[in-house]
Amino acid sequence: MNAPGRSYWRSLEELAETPEFAALVEREVPRFRDVLAGVDRRRFLQLMAASMALGGLGSGLSACGPEPNPRQLLPYVEQPLGIIPGRSRYYATATTLDGYATGVLVASQMGRPVKIEGNPDHPASLGAASAIMQATILGLYDPRRAQSIVGHGQIDSWDGFVTALFERRDRLMAHHGEGLRLLTGTVTSPSLTAQIAALNKDFPGMQWHQWEPLHRDEERAAAKEAFGRPLDSVYDIGSADVIFAVESDLISAVPGWLAYARHFAARRRPAETGGRMSRVYAIESTPTLIGAKADHRLALRPAELAAAMRYLAAALGAGPQQWSQAQVKDADWLKAAAQDLKQHHGRALVHAGREQPAEIHLLAHAINGALGSFGATIRLIEPVAASPGSQQQSLHQLAADMMAGKVDTLLMLETNPLYTAPADVDFAAALKKVPLSADLALYADETTLASTWHIPAAHEYEAWSDARAFDGTITIQQPQLRRLYGGHSAQELLAVLLGNTMPVDYALLRAFWQSAAKQQGHADFEQFWHESVRIGVVANSAAAPVTATPTADLAAHLPAAAAEAKGLDLIFRPDEAAWDGRFADNPWLLEMPRAFTRLTWDNAALIAPSTAKRLGLATEDVVAIAAGDRQLRAPIFVLPGQAPDCVTLPLGFGRRAGGLGVGVGFDAYALRVVASPWLVAAKSLTKTGDTLRLATVQQHDRIAGRDLVHEGTLADFVKNPHFLKHEGNNESIYPAYKYPGNAWAMAVDLNSCIGCQACVVACQAENNVPVVGKDQVLAGREMHWLRIDRYYSGAADEPSVAFEPVPCMHCENAPCEVVCPVHATVHDHEGLNLMVYNRCVGTRFCSNNCPYKVRRFNFFAYAIEDDRPAESWNPEVTVRGRGVMEKCTYCIQRIRTTQIDALRENRPIRDGEIVTACQQSCPTQAIIFGDRNDPKSAVARRKASPLDYVLLEELNTRPRTSYSALIRNRNPLIKDDEA
Amino acid sequence: MAIFGPRANMLMNAALIAAAAGSVFLVMLIWLVPVMGYNSQERYIPPQPVPFSHKHHVSGLGLDCRYCHTTVEISQSAGMPATEICMTCHSQIWTNAAILAPVRQSLADDTPLRWTRVYTLPDYVYFDHSIHVAKGVGCTECHGPIGDMPLTRKATTLYMSWCLACHRDPAPHLRPLSEVFNPHWHRTPATPSGEQLMAAYHIHTRTLSDCGVCHR
Amino acid sequence: MTIADLPDAAPVVRPGVTLTSLSEEVSARVLRPHAPRWWWVGFGISLALLLVLVVAMAWLFINGIGVWGVNIPVAWGLAIAEYVWWIALASGGTIVSALFYLTRSPWRSATNRIAESMMLSAAACAGLMPIMHLGRPGFFYWLFPYSTVMGVWPQVRSPLWWDFICLLCYILMSIMFYYVGLLPDLATVRDLAQTRRKQILYGILALGWRGSARHWRNHQTVYFIMCAIMAPMVISVHSVVGLDFAGGLTPGWHSTQFPPYFFFGAVISGLALVIMLTILVRRGYGFQDIITEYHFNALAKVMLVGSLMLGYSYLWEAWGAVYGSSVADRSEFFFRIFGFYAPSYWAKIALNILIPQLLWLPAVRRSEIGLFLISVGIIVGMWLERFVIVIPSLSHNSIPSYWGVYYPTLWDWATLAGTIGLFLTLFFVFLRLFPIVSIAEVRELVQKRGSR
C-alpha cells in the first residue's frame, strides 16, 4: 500500500518511520515487525520538536540536509509559546456539511491535529461529534488528496492560474461579466457571501449557481408556499411530548441533528424523568434512526405516505374532510395517532424528512399549524443559507446555458456536478463547451478531470474561513496546521477574480470581519476576534426567531391525491457515511458498519423481505434496475423494516475518480432525474444471476433467546419500575475482590442509543484502530473495538429494532484473563481489564473465551500496512503490530493522563473529568463512564436505575459495563404485534 | 578385532556427562546474555553534535535541571532545550568557541540540533517525567550521577525488571521534594524515611505495578 | 489374556521362528545395504509432503497467521484441531506400548516398537502445531517459566500453560522411553553388523550393552518404572488437552467430560494408526511369522472398546446439551448436528462409532483389509471430531451478533498435508535405522513358547 502522496509530504516524522528499513525488516525477519509496530507509529512524537521546526521552515528541509534516524532527538530552535511536548492542546473551529457548520475542538499534539471532538459551546454540537465529523481528520491527512495545480492537463502553478484568470478577467470586465458563472454548494459563510456580492457588483452579468446533490429544495418550496417566503425551521424537540415523524432525518441528518438527538434522548429516559417519556410515531419508506426509536412505526411506500398525511391532516382539521373518507392503510393506527397529537396541542411536533415531496412538507406545516407547534415546538428563522432557491433548477439552468455556449468562464468551488448531477443533466458534455472552467477540489475528482483548471482545495482545517450553523450561529474556522499539500481556499480563489493577485485567507477573513464587527457594533475588534476564534462561536450570532403562520387553506395549494402506486418505487437516500459521495474516499467511513444493514465497503439496493420473497431475490444477488431509459446493476440487500415494493438506492458510491472510493459500490445518481430527485418508478428489476459478496459485520439479526436485550413498555414500568429485574445468581466459590480505590465502570442506555455510529468512529480515531479493507471484513476480521449490534424482534416486515453498543465489558471475573498463558491480559486494581500488547504472543484463547466477542486480533500487520502519515496516529496509544490481540481499554490513556494530573495535584479525580472517546462523541449521552465507587457519580446513579442489567448475566462474569433496558411508550389504543 | 576397547565405556560416560553439562551451560546463557552490559547499553556514551557536559553546567555552574528541561514538571516529556535556550548564555560567553559552532549554526539557519538520545524506551512504554519528580523521585534515580558526567552516558539498564523494582518498593528511592533536582543529594540521618515520604506523597503501591500504569 | 488361552489358529508367534532366525530376520531389515523399493517410494512421497510443510511454514511466518482462515469469532482453526489430533495419535502409541506392558499382554511385544516409532513421529507433528498457530511464534519461549529482564512469569492458571508443560514432558519422556526399550536391540544389531561403520554407529548407540544379567536386571527395572510413569502420563497429557477446552466458557467446550472424552479419542485413534502401520510393516517386511492374526485380533478388540467408550461420550455430550439448562449450549449443539458443519458431525459418528461395530465379527478382526479400511476411517473420523469440537463451538458462540463461519484456506490444508509428510518421513527413518520389532521381547515369547 504505497501512497502516491508520500513522496510529496516528506516530513521528519514520516522519515522517522523509515519505510525502507521497515520494508527490509518485513522481508528479512517478519517477527521484528511486531516489535517495530509500536515503534514506528509513535516515533514522530519523539521527533515532534523537529516537525514544528519544520513547520516554520516550509517544506524544504528534507530536500536538503541529512535524514534523522529514530534515535535522534530534535529540539526546537525557538520554543513556540504554549506548546508543551507530550500534552494535547485544543483549538476551536468548525467543520461544514452541505454548507452548515458544526463546531469542533481539534486536539493537537505538537501542532499535529490528532483528534476531532465536539465543541460544547457550539449549539449544533453541544460536545458531540458525528462519525463523519470524526473522520474529517483522516480526510485531512489523506495522501490521495490532490496536490498540484493542473492547467490544461499540464502541472502548473498558482501564478500560472492567476495569470490565466487575470487575462480572462479583463475580457469579462469589458462586457460586464457576461458568460461568467460561479457554481458552489450551499453557502452559509458570511465572508464568502460578501465576496460573491462584491463579484456581482464588478460583474453584473455574472450568475451564481448552487448545487448540493442532497439539496433541500422540496422543504424550501413548501416553506415558500406556506409562509410566503423560504423560512428555516428550528425544532425544540425537547418540549415535544408527541412526535410524528414522516421518514424524518431529525436525529440523523438535518443540520443540527446532534443537538436535536441530545434533546430527543433526554425525553426518552423514563428512569431519569420519573416515568415520563415522549411518544414517537413514525411512518417511513426506508428505516431511519428515529423510526428505530419510534414507539409505533409503519412502513409505507411513498404514495401511501402522502395518503396517510392527508388523512392525518383531515383528522386534525388541517385539511378538507373528504380526505378522511379516502381509503388508507392502517386507518385506525392513524386515527389513534391523530387523537394523541390533538391531545398534546402545543406540545406536539410533525417533521418530514429532506427527501419527502413538497406536498408532504406542506401538509406537515399545515398539521403543525393546527397543533399550535409554531412558536412552541418549532421556531421559524430567516434562512441560514445565502439566497436559497431551487438548486435543481439552478444546476439545470447552468447546464443548459453551458450547452448553449453562453458560458465562457466557470468557477466551481468544492462541488462535483459531473458525478452528482441528475442523470438527465449531461454536465460532462456541457463542461466541454466551456473555454475556461476552474475547479477547486480536494481530490482530482470526476469534475476536476474534465475542467481546464484544477486547483487543489485547502482542507477546512487548513484555511481561515467562517460558516453558520443550523440556527444561524456563526463560527470562525481557524487552520490547524500548515497546508499539507498546498491548496487554496474558496475565498482566495474569488479574491483573485476581485483583483487581488496575492490573496491570503487570514487577511481576507480579518478584513471582512473588521467591517462586519463594526456594523454589529463591536467596539473592540481585537477582543471580539480573539474571543470568537477561541470559543469557536461568534457570540449571540444565532438568528432571531420570526413569527409566521402557514396560510390557512393549504388544500388549495396541493395537487390532487396521487393515484394508487403500482410497480416498484426507487427512492434515493444519502449513504450514512459516504454521504453524497464526498466521503467515499474516507477509509474510516467506508468501513463504518451502517446502522441497519451493518454493511461496509459497499452500498446495496435495499428491499423488504416480503418483496424479496415475491421476486425470488436474496441478499448479494446482483440485479439490473431500469428506470426510464437508464439502468444500473446493484447488489440486493434484504432489509427488514423496508416498505414493500420500495427499493432504496443509497447515493455516494461508484465514484469514477478521486481517491480510495473509486469503484466502490454502484452509482445511484445514474437513475436520478431533475423532475423527481428522490423518487422514480422502476421500469424493471431483473435478476442477472451474478452475485456480489457484501461485507456485513453482523450475520444474525435476532437475540436467539439470549439474555441480551431487556425490553418493556412504559405502562409496565410505571406500574412497577423493577418489572424487568430478575434475580441473577452470582454465587462464586471465591470471595468477591474488593476495589477500595476507583472502580471504573460504564453504563449504556439502550433508550438513548440511536445507532448513529459516532462512538464507533470516535473509538477508531482515539485508539488507532486500523482499517482492514473489504476482503478482511469478509474474512471476519474487522477491528472496531466498539460495535453497535442491531437486533430485530417481531415481524420481519415491521420489526422492532434495538441498537446495542458493545465495548469491552471489563468483567470482574474476566474469562479472557485466566486462559492467557503469558499474563498478556490481566486485571488491574481499579477493575480495568488490561491488554498488554507487547506481552501478547497471540494464542487467541482470550478471544475464544470472551462470551461478548469484543476482542480483535491483528491477523496481519494492519496498522503498518495502513497508509496514513505517521503524524495522524494518536501518540497516546500504542499502535499494535502483527499477531497481537487488542480490545477496548476504556480509553486507559485518558484515565492515566487525568490520574497523573490528579496525583500531581494530590487531589481525587472529579466525576466527569475522565471522558471516554465514545462517551464524548455520543450525541445522546447514551454512554456514561466514571467511578462506580462514588455514589454521586453519574455512572453510579445510572447503574442504580431499576432498568440496569448486564449482558449474559448467567455466566457470572460481573461486567463493569451495564445497560439500561429499552422502554417503549406505547399508545394503548394501538394494538400491533410489536409488543 | 575389538572395535570398542576397555576405555570405550569410560569415554561414553564422559561424553554423556559432558553433554549434560553442555546443555546446562546453554540454558544458563539464556539467563546470562540479557543481563550483560552490552545488551542493555549501560554506560554507553553516544556521540553528540556538541560535547555537552552536565558536569560543567550543573555541578560547575550550578544550573538547575529545569533551566533547560523546561517541561519536566508538567509533562511526560522532560523537554530538550531549544537552541535559543543555549544561546541565552552562549550569545554572551564562548561566543566563538569551535565546539559550539553547531549551536550557532542551528540558530543561524533555523535547523534543529540533532542530539542522539541516550535513553530510548520502546514505544509501548509510557513514561511520565512529571509524576515521578512530583512524587520525590530524583533525576539521578534513573539518570545516575548526571551531575558528574562530562559526557552523558546511559546509567541504568531500563529493563522492565528495573522499573518494577522501584514500582514495587518505591520507599528507598524517594527523597524530599526540595532535593529532587539536586544531583548530589544523598540520604542523611535527618532525611525522613522512605515510608514517611510515601505517606506524605500519597504513594500507594497497590496499583503501582499494574501493567496499565506504563502500557497503554 | 495370557498365553494359555491363545487360539491355536493364531499363535502369537508362528512356529518355526527360532531365536536366531528372529534376530537375523529383524536386524537384516536394518543392516541390509539397500532398502527395498517400496521404502524408497514411500520415503520419496514423504519428503515431497515434508517440502510442502516447509513452504507452508515459510509462507505463514512471513505473512502472518492471516494466511489461514481463522477469524473472530473462530480464532482457532485447523491448526488446533490437528494439534489435538496428532497428540491423540501419539498417545495411542504410548497406550499400546506402556499400558499393555503393565498388563503383560503378549501381543504387545511385536507391535510396541511400531507404536513407539509412531508415537515419536506424531508427537513431533503435535509439538509443531501450537507454535505455528501463535500470532507471534517467535515469542513462544515466553511460556517457559523464566524471568531475566522482564520480571514477569507465565500465567499458571491457564490451561494452555499446563498443556505446554505436559506436552514438553511427554515428548522428552517418550524419547527416553523409546531409546531405553531400543537398547538391547541396538546391541543385537551391533553384533550382527558386518561393516565397520555400522558396528561403530550401533555400538555407540548401544551404550556398551553387553546383555549381562546385571544389565538386564537394571534394564527391566528401569523399563518397568518408565511404563509405570508413561501410562498415567499419557492419560494426564490428554486430559490436559481436554482441559484446554473444558477450561473455556465457550458453549460446546465448557464441559467436565472433556478429559476422559479426549482420552477415549486418543485410545481409538492411536490404535487405528498402530493397526494401519502394523499391517503395512508386516506386509512390507514380511513379518507374517512374528506379527499374526493374534495381534490384530487383540488390537481390534481394544479399538472396539475405545469406539464404544467414545460413543458413550458422544451420547453424554448430546444429553448434556439437550437436557442442560444453557440456551447457548443447546443451540450450539443443534448447530453442530444440523448447522453449517453438520456433515462433519454425522461423518464422525459413522466413522468412529457405527462402522467400527463391524469389529464384533471375528472375521473382520482378523482380516487385514477390513481392519485397514476401518482404521483409515477412524483416523479420518477422529480428525473430523477434533474439527467439530473446535470450530462449530466458536462459530456459534454466546452472542448471536457475532456468529460467523470459518473456511480453511489453501494454507490450512497445506499445513495438514505437510505435517502428514513430517510424520511419514520420521517413521520411514525409524523403519530404516532401527529394528521395527522389539527383538528382545519377541525372543522372550519364543523362549516362553519353547518352555511350554
List own/partner pairs for A699-705 with CB under 8 A and 24 or more apart.
A699/C403, A699/C404, A700/C400, A700/C401, A700/C403, A701/A640, A701/A790, A701/A791, A701/A792, A702/A791, A702/A792, A702/A793, A702/C400, A703/A791, A703/A793, A703/C400, A704/C327, A704/C331, A704/C400, A705/C327, A705/C331
Question: Average of pLDDT values for A153-163?
Answer: 90
The answer to whether the CB atoms of A884 and C135 lie below 8 A apart is yes
Alpha-carbon torsion (B137, B142, B145, B146), positive or negative: negative
3-state helix/strand/coil string of A813-829: CCHHHHHCCCCCEEECC
The answer to whether the CB atoms of B160 and C204 lie below 8 A apart is no
Contact A600, A584 (CB under 8 A): no
Q: What is the pLDDT of residue A51?
A: 36
Question: Average of pLDDT values for B149-176?
Answer: 91
Q: Is A335 left (phi over 0), alpha (psi -120 to 50) or beta?
A: alpha
Size of interface A-C (CB pairs under 8 A): 173
Q: What is the pLDDT of residue C98?
A: 87
The answer to whether the CB atoms of C139 and A841 lie below 8 A apart is yes
Going by C-beta distance under 8 Å and a sequence separation of 6 or more, which residues neighbour residue B61?
Answer: none
A579: which DSSP letter? B
3-state helix/strand/coil string of A148-159: CCEECCEECCHH
> Measured between alpha carbons, how far is C251 from A706 in angstroms, rounded to an integer?
13
* Cα R_g (chain B), whole angstroms: 25
3-state helix/strand/coil string of A711-727: EEEHHHHHHCCCCCCCC
More confident residue, A24 or A869: A869
Q: By mean pLDDT, which of A264-268, A436-440, C90-94 is the weakest?
A: C90-94
Distance from CA of C212 to the nearest CA of B (A): 15
The β-bridge partners of A625 are A632, A685
Distance from CA of B94 to the nearest CA of A (A): 19
Q: How far is CA B107 from CA A76, A78, A82, B86, B94, in A?
A: 10, 8, 21, 10, 15
The answer to whether the CB atoms of A822 and C71 lie below 8 A apart is no
Residue in chain A closest to C161 (alpha carbons) equals A821
Cell of A876: 497516546
Q: By mean pLDDT, which of A388-392, A478-482, A844-848 is the weakest?
A: A388-392
Residue B125 has pLDDT above 80, yes or no: yes
Residue A637 main-chain phi, psi, to 5 deg? -130, 120
Please check whether residue A565 touches B, CB under 8 A: no
> Measured between alpha carbons, how far is A339 from A329 in angstroms, rounded to an integer?
17
Residue in chain A closest to B86 (alpha carbons) equals A77
> Measured between alpha carbons, how far is A880 from A862 in angstroms, rounded to an integer?
8
The β-bridge partners of A476 are A466
Residue in chain A closest to B108 (alpha carbons) equals A77
Cell of A839: 506481552
Contact A98, A255 (CB under 8 A): yes
> Measured between alpha carbons, how far is A907 from A913 in angstroms, rounded to an integer?
12
The answer to whether the CB atoms of B216 and A71 lie below 8 A apart is no
Size of interface B-C (CB pairs under 8 A): 36
Q: How far is CA A419 from CA A132, A641, A651, A670, in A?
A: 20, 30, 11, 9
Q: What is the pLDDT of residue C341?
A: 92
Residue C345 has pLDDT above 80, yes or no: yes
The answer to whether the CB atoms of A818 and C158 lie below 8 A apart is yes
* Cα R_g (chain C), whole angstroms: 23
Best CA proximity match to A746, nearest among A647, A629, A831, A654? A831
Q: By mean pLDDT, which of A880-894, C290-304, C340-354 is the weakest?
A: C290-304
Please check whether residue B209 touches C, CB under 8 A: no
Question: Average of pLDDT values for B111-137?
Answer: 91
Which residues in chain B are contacts of A892 at CB distance < 8 A?
212, 216
* Mutation for testing the B interface, residue in A32, A47, A73 having most B CBs under 10 Å: A73
Please check whether residue B124 touches C, CB under 8 A: no
- What integer best gives the mean pLDDT of chain A? 87
pLDDT in tens, A717-726: 999 988 888 7
The answer to whether the CB atoms of A73 and B80 lie below 8 A apart is yes
Chains contacting chain C through 3 or more C-beta pairs under 8 A = A, B
Best CA proximity match to C98, nearest among C226, C195, C237? C226
- What integer best gives the mean pLDDT of chain C? 89
Chains contacting chain A through 3 or more C-beta pairs under 8 A = B, C
Contact A130, A101 (CB under 8 A): no
| Three-state SS at A655 | strand
pLDDT band at residue A85 under the 50/70/90 scheme:
confident
Identity of the residue in C65, C72, C249 whose CB atom sits nearest the CB atom of A780: C72
Question: Average of pLDDT values for A543-556?
Answer: 80
Chains contacting chain B through 3 or more C-beta pairs under 8 A = A, C
Going by C-beta distance under 8 Å and a sequence separation of 6 or more, which residues neighbour residue A887?
Answer: A785, A808, A835, A854, A855, A856
Residue in chain B closest to C141 (alpha carbons) equals B30
> Measured between alpha carbons, how far is A542 from A538 in angstroms, rounded to an integer?
9
pLDDT band at residue B122 under the 50/70/90 scheme:
confident
pLDDT band at residue A865 under the 50/70/90 scheme:
confident
Please check whether residue B36 touches C, CB under 8 A: no
Size of interface A-B (CB pairs under 8 A): 144
Which residues in chain B are contacts of C201 at CB distance < 8 A?
none
Residue A410 has pLDDT above 80, yes or no: yes
Question: Average of pLDDT values for A894-919?
Answer: 93
> Measured between alpha carbons, how far is B60 from B51 in angstroms, rounded to an integer?
15
Question: Cα–chain-centroid distance for residue B161?
Answer: 13
Query: Half-sphere exposure (CA, 13 Å, Cβ side) for A222?
Result: 25
Residue A372 has pLDDT above 50, yes or no: yes
Dmax (CA) of chain C:
72
pLDDT band at residue A69 under the 50/70/90 scheme:
low
Cell of B37: 552490559
Residue A58 has pLDDT above 60, yes or no: no
Q: What is the pLDDT of residue C4?
A: 42
The answer for A 722-741 residues in CB contact with B (under 8 A) is 741
The answer to whether the CB atoms of A76 and B112 lie below 8 A apart is yes
Q: What is the pLDDT of residue A421?
A: 92
The answer to whether the CB atoms of B130 and A904 lie below 8 A apart is yes
User: What's the whole-model pTM score?
Assistant: 0.90
Identity of the residue in B77, B84, B211 whose CB atom sits nearest the CB atom of A836: B211
pLDDT band at residue C24 under the 50/70/90 scheme:
confident
